[in-house]
Amino acid sequence: MDRAIPQAFRHIEVHPLSTALGAEIEGVDLSRPLTDDVVAEIRRAFLAYLVIFFRRQELAPQNLLDVAARFGEPMAYPQLEGLPGFPLVTLVKKLEQEEINFGGAWHSATSYLECPPKASMLYAVEIPQIGGDTLFANQYMAYETLSAGLKETLAPLVGVNTSTNPVSAVTRVDRMKEVAAELKVLVGEHPVARTHPETGRVALYINHGHTSHFKGWTEQESMPLLRSLFDHQIKSEFTCRLRWQPGTLAVWDNRCTQHYPMNDYHGHRRVMHRVTLAGERPL
């Protein structure tokens, strides 16, 4: 995290979770209208900490969309329909009898789109008594800690991201079977070293869940370097861990983070509502 970022906030309370990223925001009731000053401070905390959490919130789907609209443009998830009456709110769940959790791999959300989302919002409706945490990793730090030589190698490279990568495709099987949906084949090509449009910082923008190879390289040629980078991206010193509670809302920046929902609650139910905010073409 950039130590030069000012930590003073007048309208909200900000409590960092780790030195890498993540902060809890207190003093805000998201079910009520937010003033411009509060929204501005939340946005500043979002850019500073990359992922922010709000506890003890009571957010119906419309409340969630209202909050999302203050921070961006909600967009549809490309693979599944949303809730009845709320097509931009996606149900993310794992049931007691299921073994695979939705999105259960390190990834940046839908990086296989031409314009991937800038942010994701996930709201906890029902949480298992134990397990079901989510890990987040700072991709600014992942890039900044690379050697100068490797940065030079990566500078011209473009990552090919696909919705059919088996690592992530298998995690959607239960939900897609439930609604008889077919997997859409989508491919996005994005710079491996991505410049954040708001902060100007460079992040490592590949991920195990969706990146299959480098453009102009074969998958076999790409894999040794990709495997090394995938391992590097999720080093423990780059991460924070969210222990969910019912009523927790997490908002993270897909342009400079990855996340991993842990699958350690077999035999229990986990139900979440997700809203995705539209983003720009990576540069």
Per-residue pLDDT tens over the stretch 228-280: 999 999 999 999 999 999 999 999 999 999 999 999 999 999 999 999 999 99
Claim: this prediction has a pTM higher than 0.85: yes
Residue 180 has pLDDT above 60, yes or no: no
In a domain, 8, yes or no: no
Strands (E), the chain: 13-16, 23-26, 51-54, 74-75, 90-94, 119-126, 134-138, 158-162, 187-191, 193-195, 202-204, 211-214, 239-242, 249-253, 257-261, 270-277
In a domain, 173, yes or no: yes
State the pLDDT at residue 166. 77
In a domain, 5, yes or no: no
Cα 142 from Cα 152, distance rounded (Å): 15
Residue 110: alpha-carbon gap to chain centroid = 9
In a domain, 264, yes or no: yes
pLDDT 10s digits, 99-152: 888 788 999 999 999 999 999 999 999 999 999 999 999 999 999 999 999 999
Number of structural domains the chain divides into: 1
Give the sign of the dihedral formed by CA 232, CA 237, CA 239, CA 242.
Answer: positive
Strands (E), 42-112: 51-54, 74-75, 90-94
Question: Which residue matches tokens 């590097």?
Answer: 232
In a domain, 6, yes or no: no
Residue 257: alpha-carbon gap to chain centroid = 6
Contacting residues for 274 by C-beta, under 8 A, at least 6 apart? 77, 89, 90, 91, 92, 120, 121, 122, 123
Domain, as residue range, for 36: 13-277
86 exposed, middle or buried (CB, 10 Å; 0-12, 13-18, 19+)?
middle
The 10 Å CB-count burial string (b at 16+, else e) for 162-177 is: bbebebbbebbebbee
CATH code: domain of residue 242 = 3.60.130.10
In a domain, 112, yes or no: yes
In a domain, 218, yes or no: yes
List the helix and strand counts (H, then E) for the chain.
7, 16
Least confident of 23-27, 71-75, 99-103, 261-265: 99-103
7 exposed, middle or buried (CB, 10 Å; 0-12, 13-18, 19+)?
exposed
Model confidence at 171, pLDDT cuts 50, 70, 90, reads low
Cα 158 from Cα 201, distance rounded (Å): 18
Cα 255 from Cα 138, distance rounded (Å): 10
In a domain, 1, yes or no: no
